[in-house]
Amino acid sequence: MAVERTLAILKPDCVRKNLQGEVLARIQKAGFKVLGMRQLRLTQQTAGAFYAVHKGRPFYDELVGFMSSGPCVPIALERENAVGEFRNLIGATDPKEAADGTIRKLFADSKGENIVHGSDSVENGKIEVGFFFSGAELV
Protein backbone atom coordinates (compact mmCIF):
# COMPACT_ATOMS: atom_id res chain seq x y z
CA MET A 1 0.00 0.00 0.00
CA ALA A 2 1.09 3.53 -0.74
CA VAL A 3 1.62 6.28 1.77
CA GLU A 4 -1.13 8.86 1.29
CA ARG A 5 -2.11 12.24 2.67
CA THR A 6 -5.54 13.18 3.91
CA LEU A 7 -7.03 16.25 5.50
CA ALA A 8 -8.85 16.17 8.79
CA ILE A 9 -10.71 19.19 10.09
CA LEU A 10 -11.78 19.21 13.71
CA LYS A 11 -15.01 21.12 13.14
CA PRO A 12 -16.44 23.98 15.24
CA ASP A 13 -18.54 21.56 17.33
CA CYS A 14 -15.38 19.61 18.24
CA VAL A 15 -13.63 22.83 19.34
CA ARG A 16 -16.73 24.10 21.17
CA LYS A 17 -16.91 20.83 23.14
CA ASN A 18 -13.14 21.05 23.84
CA LEU A 19 -12.54 17.61 22.29
CA GLN A 20 -9.54 18.52 20.11
CA GLY A 21 -7.03 16.67 22.30
CA GLU A 22 -9.19 13.56 22.64
CA VAL A 23 -9.86 13.32 18.90
CA LEU A 24 -6.23 14.05 17.98
CA ALA A 25 -5.04 11.35 20.42
CA ARG A 26 -7.31 8.80 18.70
CA ILE A 27 -6.00 9.86 15.28
CA GLN A 28 -2.37 9.49 16.38
CA LYS A 29 -3.08 6.19 18.16
CA ALA A 30 -4.46 4.90 14.83
CA GLY A 31 -1.03 5.42 13.26
CA PHE A 32 -1.44 8.76 11.52
CA LYS A 33 1.52 11.14 11.33
CA VAL A 34 0.63 14.83 11.79
CA LEU A 35 2.37 16.86 9.06
CA GLY A 36 0.72 20.20 9.81
CA MET A 37 -1.93 21.58 12.14
CA ARG A 38 -3.39 24.98 13.01
CA GLN A 39 -6.45 26.49 14.60
CA LEU A 40 -8.33 29.14 12.64
CA ARG A 41 -11.78 30.52 12.01
CA LEU A 42 -13.05 30.14 8.47
CA THR A 43 -14.89 33.04 6.90
CA GLN A 44 -18.09 32.34 4.97
CA GLN A 45 -16.08 32.92 1.77
CA THR A 46 -13.27 30.52 2.72
CA ALA A 47 -15.69 27.83 3.89
CA GLY A 48 -17.68 28.32 0.69
CA ALA A 49 -14.54 27.92 -1.42
CA PHE A 50 -13.47 24.80 0.45
CA TYR A 51 -16.88 23.16 0.05
CA ALA A 52 -17.48 24.51 -3.49
CA VAL A 53 -17.90 20.93 -4.74
CA HIS A 54 -21.20 20.84 -2.78
CA LYS A 55 -22.53 24.19 -4.07
CA GLY A 56 -26.13 23.81 -5.18
CA ARG A 57 -26.81 20.87 -2.86
CA PRO A 58 -29.53 21.33 -0.22
CA PHE A 59 -27.06 21.22 2.70
CA TYR A 60 -24.46 23.63 1.24
CA ASP A 61 -25.59 26.87 2.94
CA GLU A 62 -26.02 25.15 6.31
CA LEU A 63 -22.57 23.52 5.99
CA VAL A 64 -20.85 26.81 5.12
CA GLY A 65 -22.66 28.56 7.98
CA PHE A 66 -21.69 25.87 10.45
CA MET A 67 -18.04 25.68 9.34
CA SER A 68 -17.69 29.46 9.73
CA SER A 69 -19.50 29.55 13.10
CA GLY A 70 -16.40 29.12 15.25
CA PRO A 71 -12.77 27.99 15.29
CA CYS A 72 -11.76 24.75 13.59
CA VAL A 73 -8.50 22.79 13.37
CA PRO A 74 -7.31 21.61 9.94
CA ILE A 75 -4.76 18.80 10.20
CA ALA A 76 -2.65 17.35 7.37
CA LEU A 77 -2.18 13.62 8.00
CA GLU A 78 -0.08 10.89 6.42
CA ARG A 79 0.09 7.09 6.57
CA GLU A 80 -0.43 4.05 4.38
CA ASN A 81 -3.96 4.03 2.93
CA ALA A 82 -4.61 7.30 4.81
CA VAL A 83 -7.92 8.18 3.14
CA GLY A 84 -9.58 4.80 3.68
CA GLU A 85 -8.16 4.30 7.16
CA PHE A 86 -9.21 7.77 8.29
CA ARG A 87 -12.75 7.32 6.97
CA ASN A 88 -12.93 4.01 8.88
CA LEU A 89 -11.68 5.75 12.03
CA ILE A 90 -14.21 8.60 11.90
CA GLY A 91 -17.24 6.57 10.81
CA ALA A 92 -20.30 7.42 8.73
CA THR A 93 -21.34 11.05 8.26
CA ASP A 94 -24.49 10.41 10.29
CA PRO A 95 -23.38 9.36 13.80
CA LYS A 96 -26.52 7.19 14.12
CA GLU A 97 -25.16 5.09 11.22
CA ALA A 98 -21.52 5.15 12.36
CA ALA A 99 -19.90 1.97 13.65
CA ASP A 100 -19.34 1.58 17.40
CA GLY A 101 -16.02 3.02 18.55
CA THR A 102 -15.70 5.49 15.66
CA ILE A 103 -15.05 9.16 16.39
CA ARG A 104 -18.43 10.29 15.09
CA LYS A 105 -20.32 7.56 16.97
CA LEU A 106 -18.58 8.59 20.20
CA PHE A 107 -18.68 12.38 19.93
CA ALA A 108 -20.98 13.71 17.15
CA ASP A 109 -24.49 15.03 17.77
CA SER A 110 -25.94 14.96 14.26
CA LYS A 111 -25.27 14.51 10.56
CA GLY A 112 -24.74 18.28 10.27
CA GLU A 113 -22.54 18.64 13.36
CA ASN A 114 -20.38 15.54 13.06
CA ILE A 115 -17.12 16.61 14.76
CA VAL A 116 -14.64 15.95 11.95
CA HIS A 117 -14.08 16.25 8.20
CA GLY A 118 -12.09 13.65 6.28
CA SER A 119 -11.05 13.70 2.62
CA ASP A 120 -13.11 11.32 0.48
CA SER A 121 -10.43 10.35 -2.08
CA VAL A 122 -6.66 10.37 -2.54
CA GLU A 123 -7.01 13.13 -5.14
CA ASN A 124 -9.17 15.27 -2.83
CA GLY A 125 -6.77 14.60 0.04
CA LYS A 126 -3.98 16.27 -1.94
CA ILE A 127 -6.22 19.18 -2.98
CA GLU A 128 -7.61 19.71 0.52
CA VAL A 129 -4.21 19.56 2.26
CA GLY A 130 -3.01 22.15 -0.28
CA PHE A 131 -6.01 24.38 0.49
CA PHE A 132 -4.84 24.85 4.08
CA PHE A 133 -1.09 24.22 3.99
CA SER A 134 1.80 25.20 1.70
CA GLY A 135 4.43 22.52 1.09
CA ALA A 136 6.88 24.41 3.32
CA GLU A 137 4.44 24.19 6.26
CA LEU A 138 4.30 20.38 6.19
CA VAL A 139 6.88 18.70 8.38
- The verdict on whether 54 is a catalytic residue reads no
CA–CA distance, 116 with 107 (Å, rounded to integer): 10
Cα torsion 29, 33, 38, 43: sign: negative
Q: Closest Cα partner for 82 from 32, 37, 132?
A: 32
Instruction: Considering the candidates 117, 125, 128, 129, report the single residue annotated as catalytic.
Output: 117
Q: Are 66 and 112 in contact (CB under 8 A)?
A: yes
**Catalytic residue IDs:** 117
